[in-house]
Amino acid sequence: MLVSILHRATGDGMALVGTIVFVWWLAALAGGEATYAGFVDTFTVSDGRLNILGYVIGIGMTWAFFQHLASGIRHLVMDTGAGFELRTNKTFALLTIVFSILATIAFWAYLLAGK
Amino acid sequence: MGNGTPLGRVRGLGAAKEGTHHWWHQRLTAGGNLLLILWFVISIARLPAYDHATLTAWISSFWVAIPLALIVINTFYHFRLGLQVCIEDYSHGPGRIAWIVLLNAFVLVAGAIALFSIFSIAFSAGAAA
């Protein structure tokens, strides 16, 4: 049940917050260097690193994506009628959370330290 | 051959005469999203820098502008269906219609801005180069 709620929360969260940031990012890029600097300033400190808002939205959106991806695949499998045995279902549900956390850590480790 | 038995003609249709296309389109676009957003997340991570010049040069590529436009179409359609379900689950009464109208306006306005921005970057960067 938690994973089902997470699927809706991450989906709706990305649909609202993710869409606004994504469209703002594209429009700011199209607007030129000055408008893009305004976008970047909102999410970074003066030396170019992300500020708290940047980290909350950045990490939040990547985790939401990986969680929604994993629980979405879980739903596609369940659509076929498979995976409804209690033990299998619970294992698959927990695995979506394990995957989303590990994938988020891997993504940000690469971005901040791996490059 | 006739038009089938009365039961055969109504089976699966219900009062709305349709019903599975919402569910089915949600699944179809989910598959598209899986590929498109994975491409987007990995591509963003692998970019050497995130300044204006790097990003506009990146978006001006055919192989970037087209998938980005597909994201706007596919993913926006997917989340429009998803948010519709959310509204239908929690909003009852006349307010629901206002929310659905607001949702459609949000998706169309956001989608139009995003597509215009992508093509504007792609075409102007191409002209400058």
| A contacts of B121 (beta carbons < 8 Å) | 26, 29-30
Decide if A20 and B45 are in contact by the 8 Å CB cutoff: no
pLDDT value, residue B6: 77
What is the distance in angstroms between the CA of the first residue and the CA of the last residue of chain B?
Answer: 65
Q: Which residues contact A3 (CB under 8 A, 6 or more apart)?
A: A71, A74, A93, A96, A97
pLDDT value, residue B71: 98
Identify residue B53 by its one-letter amino acid code.
A
Question: What's the farthest any 2 CA atoms get from each other in chain A?
Answer: 56
Q: What percent of chain B has pLDDT over 70?
A: 85
CATH number assigned to the domain comprising residue B33: 1.20.1300.10
Domains and CATH numbers, chain A: 2-18+50-114 (1.20.1300.10)
Q: What's the mean per-residue pLDDT of chain B?
A: 90
pLDDT value, residue B125: 65
Q: Please calculate the CA angle A72-B81-A3 and round it to the nearest 5 degrees.
A: 30
Asked whether residue B102 is domain-assigned, the answer is yes
Asked whether residue B105 is domain-assigned, the answer is yes
pLDDT value, residue B128: 46
C-alpha A99/C-alpha B13 separation (Å) is 39
Q: Please calculate the CA angle B18-B23-B65 and round it to the nearest 5 degrees.
A: 120
Decide if A73 and B52 are in contact by the 8 Å CB cutoff: no
Q: Considering the entire predicted model, what is its pTM?
A: 0.89
Selecting from A15, A29, A76 the residue whose C-beta is nearest the C-beta of B82 gives: A15
Number of domains in chain B: 1
Asked whether residue B1 is domain-assigned, the answer is no
Q: Predicted confidence band at B121 (pLDDT cuts at 50, 70, 90)? A: very high
Give yes or no for a contact between B33 and B75, defined as CB atoms under 8 angstroms apart: yes
Measured over the CA atoms of residue A84, residue A88, residue A92 and residue A98, the dihedral's sign is positive
Decide if A27 and B45 are in contact by the 8 Å CB cutoff: no
Would you state the torsion angle of the CA atoms of residues A23, B43, A93, A78, taken in this order, to the nearest 10 degrees? 80
pLDDT value, residue B7: 76
Query: Which residue range forms the structural domain that includes residue B32?
Result: 11-128
What SS3 state is found at B125? helix
Selecting from B27, B106, B114 the residue whose C-beta is nearest the C-beta of A22 gives: B114
- Give the tens place of pLDDT for each residue, B94-116: 999 999 999 999 999 999 999 99
Asked whether residue B124 is domain-assigned, the answer is yes
Q: Predicted confidence band at B129 (pLDDT cuts at 50, 70, 90)? A: very low
C-alpha B103/C-alpha B100 separation (Å) is 5
What is the pLDDT tens value at each position of chain A, 115 positions in all?
A: 889 999 999 999 999 999 999 999 999 999 999 999 999 999 999 988 999 999 999 999 999 999 999 999 999 999 999 888 999 999 999 999 999 999 999 999 999 998 7
Asked whether residue B4 is domain-assigned, the answer is no
pLDDT, average across residues B10-26: 77
Helix H or strand E segment including B36? helix B20-46
| B43 at A interface, C-beta within 8 A | no
| B contacts of A62 (beta carbons < 8 Å) | 41
